[in-house]
Structure formats: C-alpha cells, structure tokens
Amino acid sequence: MPKLRDPSVIPPFLHTTNYRKALALVAASAAAMLLAACGKTDGQATAGGQKMPPVEVGVVTATPGDVGLITELPGRVEASRVAQVRARAAGILQQRLFKEGSDVKAGQPLFRIDPAPYAAAAESARASLAKAQANLAQASAQVERYRPLVSANAISKQDFVNAEAAEKQAQADVAAAKAAVRTADINLGYAHVTAPISGRIGRALVTEGALVGQGEATALAVVQQIDPVYVNFTQSASDVFQLRRAMDSGQFKRASSAEAASVKLMLGDGSEYAQPGKLLFTDLSVDATTGQVMLRAEVPNPKGELLPGLYLRVRIEQAQASNAITLPQQAVTRTQQGDTVSVVGDDGKVASRSIKVSAAQNNRWVVLDGLKAGEKVMVDGFQKLQMLPPGTPVKPVPWQAPGTAAPASPAAPASAPASAAKP
C-alpha cells in the first residue's frame, strides 16, 4: 500500500476543482496578512490602501524677550512699631481701662495706679515752693532798703553784699522748688499709665491689686502697630553675588519696571495676599552663622490679616533676563547630567537639545541658552513617540495649556455600512 507522505503519490480526491480553489484562497489570505504585518513594521499602517497620517505632538514656538526674574524667599511678619507698656510709678494697680485685643490710640489711658502718695508729694512740693518764694520776697525787700543806705554810708558795704547774696540764694531756692513741683507732677502723672503709640494691645500682663514698679519698671502690656507691617526675609549671599555678577556681565539687567521694587506675599494656603508691598532696604552685612543677607519690605495691613510672627513666602523681581525664552515646565527634562528639551525640525523629526535654565516663573522655566527664536519645542506627546521607531516624522501642532479651549477638529465622515459596500 503506497504512503501518503510520498509526493509522487497523490490521492484521487486531491484532483478535484473545489480543493484547488480552497488552496488558492488560503494562499491569498496568507499574502494579505504578510503585507499588513510589513506595513506595521514600517510604522505606516494602512487602511483601505492609504497611509495613516503622522502622529500629532503639541509644540510651542521659542520667542525670546526680556523676562523678569522672580525670586521666592521665606519671610516672617513683624510689627512696624512695638512698645512695651511699663509701670514707671510704684504702687498698687487699681484699674485696667482697656479691652484686651482692641485698638488703642497714643495717649489713651490704660491702667491706673494708686495716686495718693504722689498727690501728697506734689502738694508738699508746692508748699516748699511757696516758702521759697516768700523768702525771696523778703530778701529782695531787704536789698532795696540797703541800697540807698550804702550810698549814704549809713551801713557798711559788707552788709549790702550779704543782703544781695541772700537774695540770690532765695532765687535759687525758688528755682529748686519749682523743679521739685514739676517732678512731683510727673510722678503723679505716671500713676495714670497711657498708650505710648497707636496700635493693637494684647493681653494684660498683671491684674488689679498687684504691686507694680517696686524697684523695677513692671511690664503691664504690649502695644503693636500692625498697619503697615514689616516682612523680613533672607537670601543666600552666594545668590546675591551671582546676581550682581550677571548684571555686571550684561547677562541680566536691572529691573526698571514699576514691579521691580514691589513685593508679593504667598500665604500658607498657597493664595496670594491682596496688598502688594515695597522693598525698603537690603542689609549691608552677611550673617556669619547662616551666610544669609536680610531684606525688609513694608506691606499694608488695613484688615489686620497679617499677624506678627507669621511665616510666608515672598516674591520679588530683582532683575530681568535679556533675550530669554520661557517654556512650560513639562517641556524640560531635568537630570543630573543637565537640562534637555525635544525640538521638532522642519522635516518633522524630533531631536534632543541641551539647554540652560535660570529659574521658574508662573510654572514656566526661563531658558537662557540652547534655543533659537522660531524653533518648535515639544511639550506634549512624549508617550506617542515611545510607540514609534526612532526617526519617525511627527506633525507639530500648537500646544494648548490645560484649562484653555482647544480648536475644534473637523468631524470625520461616517463610513458606509458593510452591507452597502457589497455590490
């Protein structure tokens, strides 16, 4: 019996026409699948015999210009004026005349200390003044009586000189008594403690009935002026020196706009304080322990929202970068080897480019070197490139920032039903 594996032996049923048609159909299907696989390998998938369009990627066009360099530094709020209310007269505190945490005016009564001892001292000083004035009147009258007598040699000249000396001594006693009266009045006034400045007063540090001012000026309360407030912040001395060298070399220039000296505050919740401030001064010395330079800004605080001791972030424009380009942060790849971006050429091919960035501003990097005007920098579509072979051309389209309306794309024509395609 012949074996079927022998190619010279063909079974009779293989010579039928239906079987030959089936073999031709299988061969055609295999060829079509092979062509489709080759097309996917080349990165040009086919649909109905036509090539698919290139992959679209979002790009931005590099546009150089003068960009303000915003520096963000940590800061702390400080009251513009702080005054401690202290007892300058010794005695028993009798009354508190203010509400804790309220706003007070300069000269407003705050505390009352027992004034009785000081009132008595003032009366005694006035009595001594009256006595001295009486002695002065007597001495002056005696000098006037001796004056014609000494001219007539009725009395000795020594007696007249003694009378004039007594008058001058009486005048000195009157002056001393007046000073004693003034001192007594001042001490009596210290019994009524007033606000040294206008501002907001905190809690009372002593209560009624306490003995204050006995041997020391007892602290009674603290008044702070918080409109406006000061914001103290520090900057690294090395950053200051680098900024000055960049200005001297011409890479940066001094900010000449109105915003140059303005200061903006970022609160702890990330929001921006409504009132801008102004830079007052930069300290001339560097802190030896931290290597920082202190700066101070003045900020209006009409509603009292900024409290002394509050920590926040300070944004200030210190310089401007000439011919700088800004890019969205997601367009820049930052590594230890350096910063790079993906540039789309005129032929649609993507190339990596090394750049030099300075600082971030409004979620955008300030690029100082590495890009030219008009170049297209890729911002979106990096995941699509990973699915394509290297060197595959792409189609650059304008990048739309998140939250902005993208241009409407034309609707694709509806494909005909499968039944309608059949003849």
Residue 271 burial class via C-beta count within 10 angstroms: exposed 0-12, middle 13-18, buried 19 and up: exposed
Quick one: pLDDT band at residue 311, thresholds 50, 70, 90? very high
Percent of the chain residues topping a pLDDT of 90: 38
Find the helix or strand (DSSP H, E) in which 116 lies. helix 116-151
Residue-level pLDDT at 299: 92
Q: Are 277 and 231 in contact (CB under 8 A)?
A: yes
Give the residue from 372, 329, 341, 382 showing the smallest Cα distance to 62.
372
**Residue 228, preceding bond cis, omega within 30 degrees?**
yes
In 152-270, which residue ranges form alpha helices assigned H by DSSP? 157-190, 237-249
Residue-level pLDDT at 182: 96
Residues 6+ apart with CB under 8 A from 70: 315, 316, 317, 359, 361
Residue-level pLDDT at 97: 94
* Mean pLDDT value of segment 83-95: 94
3-state secondary structure of 185: helix
179: tokens are 């000073």
Residue-level pLDDT at 363: 76
Residue-level pLDDT at 410: 44
Residues 6+ apart with CB under 8 A from 361: 67, 68, 69, 70, 326
Q: Are 77 and 417 in contact (CB under 8 A)?
A: no
Give the pLDDT confidence of 321-348 residue by residue, as tens digits. Answer: 777 788 888 888 888 888 899 898 888 8
Give the pLDDT confidence of 239-277 residue by residue, as tens digits. Answer: 777 767 766 666 555 555 544 557 889 998 888 899 888
Give the pLDDT confidence of 279-295 residue by residue, as tens digits. Answer: 887 777 888 888 888 88
Q: How far is CA 84 from CA 11, 29, 87, 406, in A?
A: 118, 97, 10, 61
Does residue 105 register a pLDDT over 80?
yes
Domains of the chain: 56-67+323-398 (2.40.420.20), 68-78+224-320 (2.40.30.170), 115-190 (1.10.287.470)
259 DSSP 8-state letter:
T
Quick one: pLDDT band at residue 238, thresholds 50, 70, 90? confident
Percent of the chain residues topping a pLDDT of 70: 77
Q: Give the whole-angstrom CA distance, residue 90 versus residue 112.
A: 11
Going 417 to 419 to 420 to 422, the CA torsion angle's sign is: positive
* Mean pLDDT value of segment 23-31: 55
Does residue 132 register a pLDDT over 70?
yes
What residue type is assigned to position 190 of the chain? Y
Does residue 40 register a pLDDT over 50?
no
Residue-level pLDDT at 281: 77
Give the pLDDT confidence of 45-80 residue by residue, as tens digits. Answer: 444 445 667 888 889 888 887 777 777 889 999 999
Give the pLDDT confidence of 147-186 residue by residue, as tens digits. Answer: 999 888 888 999 999 999 999 999 999 999 999 999 999 9
* Mean pLDDT value of segment 135-149: 93
Pick from 12-21, 80-89, 95-104: least confident: 12-21
Residue-level pLDDT at 251: 54
* Mean pLDDT value of segment 90-112: 94
93: tokens are 């505190």
407 Cα distance to chain centroid:
37
Residue-level pLDDT at 1: 44
Backbone angles phi and psi of 105, in degrees to 5: -105, 155
Its pTM surpasses 0.85: no
Q: What is the largest CA-CA distance in the chain?
A: 189
